[in-house]
């Protein structure tokens, strides 16, 4: 997988101009939020050694950032506003911004938005989740791990099936047929 470094893509999914503007600075700030959400949503299966997982997560988060930057203008600006809200509303609950929380609290905050009765908050998380899952499972290192797992045969599942079929939102990004 050949990902472009989000810094070289620029804040709006495009190559940067020579002087950063206020818009660029704001975009970079929200990119940090996207990175943190994507890291929260990266699955645990298959298990990877820490070094490989770090490489994979770097590429996954870069992909999520580039995808948010690639949204059409009329969606990207509201989405960045929502990222700001997501970042700072965490202060009301935990006393700190989202990116400053520990991993457990970050997961809890993302879970809260994912399970919210408001469709808009569920869709907000759904976008990053679908990007993260796609980039995660199509990463070359993950594919190697998946093939190793497949070669071992039908090992005991590493993810326990849920007791009940719960409701989780669908992303609004599409796969290609």
Query: Interface with other proteins by CB under 8 A: which residues?
Result: 1-4, 10, 13-17, 43, 45-46, 63, 66-67, 70-75, 119, 126-127, 129-130, 133-139, 142-143, 146, 149-150, 155, 157-162, 164-177
Closest approach of other proteins to the CB of residue 70, in Å: 3
Nearer CB in complex with other proteins: 95/165: 165
SS3 per residue for the chain: CCCCCHHHHCCCCCCCCCCCCHHHHHHHHHHHHHHHHHHHHCCCCCCCCHHHHHHHHHHHHHHHHHHHHHCCHHHHHHHHHHHHHHHHHHHHHHCCCHHHCCHHHHHHHHHHHHCCCCHHHHHHHHHHHHHHHHHHHCCHHHHHHHHHHHHCCCCCCCCCCCCCCCCCCCCCCCCCC
Nearer CB in complex with other proteins: 42/90: 42
Nearer CB in complex with other proteins: 50/153: 153
């Amino acid at each position: 997988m050949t990902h472009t470094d989000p810094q070289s893509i620029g804040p709006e999914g495009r190559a940067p101009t020579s002087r950063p503007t206020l818009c660029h600075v704001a975009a970079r700030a929200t990119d940090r939020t996207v990175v943190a959400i994507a890291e929260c949503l990266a699955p645990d299966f298959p298990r990877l050694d820490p070094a490989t997982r770090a490489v994979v997560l770097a590429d996954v988060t870069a992909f999520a950032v580039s995808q948010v930057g690639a949204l059409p203008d009329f969606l990207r600006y509201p989405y960045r506003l929502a990222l700001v809200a997501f970042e700072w509303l965490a202060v009301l609950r935990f006393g700190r911004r989202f990116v400053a929380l520990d991993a457990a609290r970050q997961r809890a905050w993302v879970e809260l938005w994912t399970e919210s009765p408001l469709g808009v908050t569920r869709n907000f998380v759904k976008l990053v989740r679908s990007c993260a899952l796609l980039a995660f499972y199509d990463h070359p290192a993950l594919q190697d791990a998946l093939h190793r797992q497949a070669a071992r045969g039908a090992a005991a599942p590493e993810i326990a099936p849920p007791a009940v079929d719960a409701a989780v939102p669908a992303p609004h990004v599409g796969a290609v047929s």
